[in-house]
Chain A
């Protein structure tokens, strides 16, 4: 029983994290249009509230949360990540969100302690 519990505690659970991130993004820029003056505030809000929620999960992980906010005007963007870590315990998750004027891509990397 204890072993099962500890196994669950120390692996990166993608679904849980996706929900947390989606909530954070929705609550910050849910219905807004792109506004240059507010961008840095939105960015800080999204990243900090995601990190807050992640710490509340109480798992033994170090987290890296990155966020890209992009104005929609037809330009293309490609992102790739390459990681050197322990595959059994570490993981990553990316959430893409958009509305009429903004693209937002949030990635979370979790590394087990």
Chain B
């Protein structure tokens, strides 16, 4: 049995995606899954340090160039294979050469600091 991987059509090279790596898990605030929900805001400081704000937490990360880049594969045409050969195809949709790694503990953002009385 064989499955084929092919570059997706389109002009120019492959799309470049970015990986965001978080420690632990991300859970939706409400029940109902993650799809369609807002994760948070991504900022970069002037020094290029990525900052992620999720809910009322703030995470500091770093930009890492991947030693071994990733290829993103999308499965297509999974079905019965016929006499012409296998029909399962994986299309290389994008390459990932960079990741934003967030491994420090999220800090809660305290917005209301009472004035000293």
A, B co-complexed:
no
